[in-house]
Amino acid sequence: MTCQYHILPEYRLGVFIASGEVTAQEAVEVIQTMTEDRAWEAGFSILWDARWITSLDIDMMGAAELIKVGRSFLERTQVARSAVVLKREIDAQMISFLSKAISIRGPKRQVKFFETLEKACEWLSVPVSVVNL
């Protein structure tokens, strides 16, 4: 599994990319690192690129930890908009559940799901070329 992120201050954007077999613990570790990154400024948007996930291994304890870390991330970063790009319906269901659970007691933000990177970038008003790393 690979989870990585990039912060693009000139576009006020963070990009989180997940591929292969993704576990809750691996995602938690990258989100925690991203939360502490000083390059992030309040009001940035984020692109969650999950197109290349082949397996999403999240049990109930992992989901609880992701929700906790997700709320902390949103409180610290004050994300304006979240675009999520997915290919597999099962991933969309799990990530939608996690996103809604984070929002119940966490900060509110706009979240939208997309099937293509192009549509997500259009919604975020950023060129595809800067996020297609």
Q: pTM score, two decimals?
A: 0.85
Contact 3/30 with Cβ under 8 angstroms? yes
Quick: pLDDT tens for 1-34: 588 899 999 999 999 999 999 999 998 898 888 8
| Residue 82 neighbours by CB under 8 Å, 6+ apart | 45, 46, 48, 99, 109, 110, 111, 112
Quick: pLDDT tens for 56-104: 889 999 999 999 998 888 888 888 889 999 998 888 888 888 888 877 7
Provide long-range contacts, Cβ within 8 A and 24+ apart, for 125-128.
126/8, 126/11, 126/13, 126/47
| CATH top class, domain 2-127 | alpha beta
Q: Which of 39, 45, 16 lies closest to 28 in space, CA to CA?
A: 16
What is the pLDDT, as a whole number, of residue 78?
83
C-alpha–C-alpha distance, residues 75 and 3, integer Å:
21
Q: What pairing do the DSSP bridges indicate for beta strands 81-86 and 110-114?
A: parallel
Which helix (DSSP H) or strand (DSSP E) does residue 100 occupy? helix 89-105
